[in-house]
Amino acid sequence: MADKTLDDISGAMRDIDFCMLTTRREDGGMSARPMSNNREVTYTGDSYFFSDGDTDKVREIDADRHVALAFQGKASLLGQPGIFIAVEGEAELIRDKTSFAEHWTSDLDRWFEQGVDTPRLTLIKVHAGRVHWWDGGEEGEVRP
């Protein structure tokens, strides 16, 4: 296994626009859906995603906080597939307008027309417990 730091991982994540958030359904199965990875944020082990609070993903997180995130970076010019990053962590549901404002960007207005005052707006915070990465022939793990 090679060594990369959390700063290295953060730098790679800046080039990744979307990730997949996986939650556990009530029946024990898994559900995954794309979520926007705000590239303007420096990754420190916590990821933040906005959602309508009346969704399956929010109900599933409310029942089981254990989630996973999957990221895939762009392929290189030399034909390498790019970096893959798998995050295992615990999610927290935040419904506080002050926290919303701290993480809000104008790009979100497309999805939430009333901004931080959008009814049922929920901020999903995923705190990483383990970050596993693959980059070309190398792989490793970071524990934030």
pLDDT value of residue 131: 95
Q: pLDDT tens for residues 46-55? A: 999 999 999 9
pLDDT value of residue 65: 97
Predicted confidence band of residue 132 (pLDDT cuts 50, 70, 90) = very high
Q: pLDDT tens for residues 84-95? A: 999 999 999 999
59-73: average pLDDT: 96
Q: How far is CA 77 from CA 54, 82, 96, 107, in A?
A: 42, 10, 43, 29
Measured in whole angstroms, how far is the alpha carbon of residue 34 from the centre of its chain? 9
Sorted by where each begins, the domain ranges of the chain are 6-142
Predicted confidence band of residue 144 (pLDDT cuts 50, 70, 90) = confident
Predicted confidence band of residue 22 (pLDDT cuts 50, 70, 90) = very high
Tell me which CATH code domain 6-142 carries.
2.30.110.10
pLDDT value of residue 10: 87
Give the dihedral sign, CA 44/127/132/103: negative
pLDDT value of residue 2: 65
128-143: average pLDDT: 90
Q: Is the pLDDT of residue 78 over 70?
A: no
Q: Give yes or no for a contact between 101 and 117, defined as CB atoms under 8 angstroms apart.
A: no
